[in-house]
Structure 1
Amino acid sequence: MTLPGHDQSTYRLRMEWGPTGAEAVPADYAVVVDVLSFTTTLSVAVERGVEVFPFRWRDARAAEHAMRHGATLAIGRFEARSRGDARHVSLSPASLAEVEGLQRLVLPSPNGSTIAFALAESGAQVVGACLRNATAVARWLAPKVADGASVVVVPAGERWHDDTLRPAVEDLWGAGAVLAALDREAEAEASPEARTAMAAWQATVLPFDLLHCASGRELTDAGFVADVEIAAQHDVSQVVPVLVGESFRDAADLVPPGPRLRRI
């Protein structure tokens, strides 16, 4: 249930954290941001022409989901490394650079996938964004905002051991990068939450800050510095992953949808 005033409905550019925030702040278009690493891996996969099926669970159900869709299942970073076989596709964005002939991929992500599907169930058109494609996503959204559409950007954050939300600063930067580019492209009033994300992004120094924030250091110390370096690449990608049904595909490959504007 959304509390009065929490839905940011007086602004067309909105921002709120995590799965609960995604439900509390509805909009016509919703942008999921999970820089380390769901939406970064998503952007790399879609660049390579891969159809990506996000999935909420990392268990036997994920393998069944992959079989049902004739897709490859991405395994965990540490599992892939323990197998010592580069042919295994993992949640690591760097792993996708080593794989050829991949057409469909199931990408387990309890946080990012849960947010994406919750937003889609609310009626929003869901897009995946990270630092790599922030401006591309903003340019795709700009004419829609100019026509009166609302946009909520949802930084996914992480989970503490007690399952409470940890607002991850890298996702705030990614959200701010999208919002700042969108603010330049289309004239629309932004909520204080959205403007705060923009300010955080404008103060960010890449790649240094991403390598040295808590999440970046965790991956770097575990031997995955390449993943952090890929995630720190700003505006190197033009793909706009759009969730259609159960999978993400590049907006450029989709038939333009009919009118869906609800003025939320």
Structure 2
Amino acid sequence: MSSPPLPPLDVTPRVDLEWGLQGARRFAERVDVVVVVDVLSFSTSVTVACERGARVWPHPGGEEAHALARSIEAVLAGTRSHTSGPSLSPTSLLDLPEGSRLVLPSPNGSSITHALMNAKVAVVAGGLRNAAAVARYVRDVGAERVAVVPAGERWPDHSLRFAYEDLVGAGAVVRRLTETVPGLFRSPEAEAAALAFAELQPLDGTPSGRELVERGFADDVRLAEQVDASDVVPVLREGRFAAAALPSTL
């Protein structure tokens, strides 16, 4: 029996998947919502911070990040090597005071969301931790076209490196969208990610996960791989992430 023909590219509702900054830029003008997925750890860190009632400014980093933090009277998150204070480590943000203002640099998820700051599209941070909440948000705002963008990692030459944790994080979002949005069409890439999520493996077996465990950040990995542990959807508005109003329950 032959396979049915693919629906036209403009079919709605629809979810597509593309990797990295170029993937995000490709879809920014064509969809209603872009979901940026950087499980270890930008999107997880943003979600945890927003759970605490913080506002988070994404930034690629460097001196401009310091200047931004000073100009808005925010805390500049440090690197994981810092032993105290907020950093890219999600567990370092579990006790953030409500109303905190945080500039959070990272080379992957933060750089992607910063590049989309002026795009006319809703940008949210998603992953394993809040996949179901992201799906409810998409449904409740009436979005018909969604792009899920796994951030990936970087090789030493700065080229994009595949990251399993971002594939399955994106797949979790696709799977929850499928369960939440009636008649959703999934691109082949989105379908593949959803299938990968269905066979989710422990993240401490990935290169990034192993590295974090070896550096003493096993708790970050465990927090990032908690599926649907959060009802918070960080939405980028006016240059910073804040929690959207809680979606209705399924």
Please show how residues 82-161 of structure 1 align to structure 2 within 5 Å.
86=84, 88-100=85-97, 103-144=100-141, 147=142, 149-161=144-156
Higher helix share: 1
What is the one-letter code of the residue matched to 2:176?
A
CA distance in 2, matches of 1:138, 1:210: 22
What is the one-letter code of the residue matched to 1:69?
I
Contact 2:18 2:147 (C-alpha < 8 Å) held by counterparts = yes
For residue 15 of structure 1, report the CA deviation from its aligned partner: 0.5
For residue 119 of structure 1, report the CA deviation from its aligned partner: 3.4
Q: Relative to structure 1, is the Cα distance of residues 191 and 93 closer, same or farther in structure 2, using a 3 angstrom cutoff?
A: same
**Aligned partner of 2:160 among 162, 165, 168:** 165
For residue 120 of structure 1, report the CA deviation from its aligned partner: 4.2
For residue 43 of structure 1, report the CA deviation from its aligned partner: 0.5
For residue 183 of structure 1, report the CA deviation from its aligned partner: 0.6
Does 114-123 or 126-135 show the bigger shift? Answer: 114-123
For residue 37 of structure 1, report the CA deviation from its aligned partner: 0.3
Structure 2: any 5+ residue segments left out of the alignment?
1-8
Contact 2:52 2:96 (C-alpha < 8 Å) held by counterparts = no
Name the % identity. Answer: 46
Q: Give the TM-score taking structure 2 as reference length.
A: 0.88
CA distance in 2, matches of 1:18, 1:202: 22
What is the one-letter code of the residue matched to 2:33?
Y
* 2:31 is the counterpart of 1:34: no
* 2:247 is the counterpart of 1:243: no
Q: Give the TM-score taking structure 1 as reference length.
A: 0.84
Give deviations 1:230-256, integer Å, cap 9, x for gaps. Answer: 101111110010000110011118xxx
CA distance in 2, matches of 1:168, 1:160: 11
For residue 9 of structure 1, report the CA deviation from its aligned partner: 4.8
1:62 paired residue number: 65
1:23 paired residue number: 25
CA distance in 2, matches of 1:185, 1:222: 38
* 2:200 is the counterpart of 1:198: no
Q: Relative to structure 1, is the Cα distance of residues 14 and 216 closer, same or farther in structure 2, using a 3 angstrom cutoff?
A: same
Give deviations 1:72-101, integer Å, cap 9, x for gaps. Answer: 1100011x13xxxx3x21111111124446
* 2:210 is the counterpart of 1:217: yes
CA distance in 1, matches of 2:140, 2:240: 24
Q: Relative to structure 1, is the Cα distance of residues 250 and 148 closer, same or farther in structure 2, using a 3 angstrom cutoff?
A: closer
What is the one-letter code of the residue matched to 1:46?
C
What is the one-letter code of the residue matched to 2:64?
R
* 2:232 is the counterpart of 1:228: no
Q: Relative to structure 1, is the Cα distance of residues 48 and 101 closer, same or farther in structure 2, using a 3 angstrom cutoff?
A: closer
Does 165-174 or 98-107 show the bigger shift? Answer: 98-107
CA distance in 2, matches of 1:70, 1:220: 33
CA distance in 2, matches of 1:15, 1:155: 8
Give deviations 1:151-210, integer Å, cap 9, x for gaps. Answer: 0000000100011000101001000001100011112111101101100100113xxx21
CA distance in 2, matches of 1:188, 1:232: 25
For residue 103 of structure 1, report the CA deviation from its aligned partner: 1.1
Does 105-114 or 157-166 show the bigger shift? Answer: 105-114
CA distance in 1, matches of 2:146, 2:163: 21
Contact 1:30 1:119 (C-alpha < 8 Å) held by counterparts = no
* 2:193 is the counterpart of 1:189: no
SS of 1:121 mapped into structure 2: coil
For residue 128 of structure 1, report the CA deviation from its aligned partner: 0.5
What is the one-letter code of the residue matched to 2:74?
A
CA distance in 2, matches of 1:143, 1:47: 20
CA distance in 2, matches of 1:133, 1:148: 18
Kindly report the root-mean-square deviation, in angstroms, between the aligned alpha carbons of the 2 structures.
1.7
